[in-house]
Amino acid sequence: MLEAILQTKREEVLSLQLPETYEQLPRRSFYDALAKPRRVLGLIAEVKKASPSKGIIRQHVNVVDIARAYEQAGADVVSVLTDEKYFAGHRSYVTQVKQHVQIPILRKDFIIDRKQLVESVRIGADAILLIGEALDPSFLHELYEEAHEMGLQCLVEVHTKKTVEAILKRFTPKVIGINNRDLTTFHTSLHVTKQIVPLLPPCIIVSESGIHTYDDVQTVRQAGAHAMLVGEALMRKPAVDVAVYELFGEREI
Ligand SMILES: O=P(O)(O)OC[C@@H](O)[C@@H](O)c1c[nH]c2ccccc12
């Protein structure tokens, strides 16, 4: 599946038209938000309408309303999917959310080309995702450096020991995301976080995908994650703010 997505992305990048920056959207720090999370475990809450493994996750999504509810419920960062074909996202969602919430925005897409870095800046993203399983490690490092030169921070995602080692041989990302989902098979297991955390040097660790319950939150916290990235478990609930409280075992006030 990952290969099909990347193939589409390569085609999209060829005809990518960069948007105009008509408004100055000040940059917010993704790193600071995760270094000082509001709760014991940081939360990156994701706006996700659909995914290739689950199909439509939520009907009639108002992206701004969801992001505002996440912010009010104390999320530290909002993740916004911008891939159109597989995740029903759109790059304009980042700009809309940026104008209505104060917390940093992670642009979630398959970044494979420098042009997408410029695009990310112009739409108002504060941080981007770089996927270890999708990029050659040297090129990932180059994109990471270039992103920083443009003022974009990065979440570097890994899934296997092999990818971790290849990346750490070259540099230490400030924030590493451990994807519990295998992007080739879509199989998800929180065990991946337990296996990968011990391999990592000091950095901010985010456990990503497949976190649904309070028990899951305890599992990834005990495994050593500093934050978690949650999409589906929140998007499937009628009220996403209540879903955040439930995940943390809090009662709505
Ligand atoms: O909906 P979930 O299982 O809570 O997962 C969220 C997030 O981790 C997932 O959307 C994700 C992780 N890495 C990605 C890379 C591309 C697209 C999507 C993703």
Cite the DSSP H helix spans in 73-213.
91-100, 114-123, 137-149, 161-168, 191-196
CATH number at residue 147: 3.20.20.70
Q: The domain containing residue 74 runs over which residues? A: 2-14+28-247
Say if ligand 1 is within 6 A of residue 157 CB. yes
| Token reading at 76 | 């530290």
DSSP H/E element including 45? strand 42-47
Residue 20: the pLDDT is 83
Residue 89 lies in a domain: yes
On whether the pTM is more than 0.95, the answer is yes
Has residue 171 got a pLDDT over 60? Answer: yes
Say if ligand 1 is within 6 A of residue 180 CB. no
Residue 23 lies in a domain: no
Residue 113 lies in a domain: yes
Cite the DSSP H helix spans in 184-239.
191-196, 214-223, 232-235
| Predicted interface score ipTM higher than 0.90 | yes
Residue 22 lies in a domain: no
Instruction: Tell me the three state secondary structure of residue 75.
Output: coil
Residue 44 lies in a domain: yes
pLDDT > 90 fraction of the chain, expressed in percent and rounded? 95
How many A from CA of 231 to the centre of ligand 1?
7
Has residue 31 got a pLDDT over 90? Answer: yes
Distance separating the N- and C-terminal Cα atoms of the chain: 42
Say if ligand 1 is within 6 A of residue 48 CB. yes
Residue 176 lies in a domain: yes
Share the mean pLDDT of the chain.
Answer: 96
Q: What is the tally of structural domains in the chain?
A: 1
Instruction: Tell me the three state secondary structure of residue 184.
Output: coil
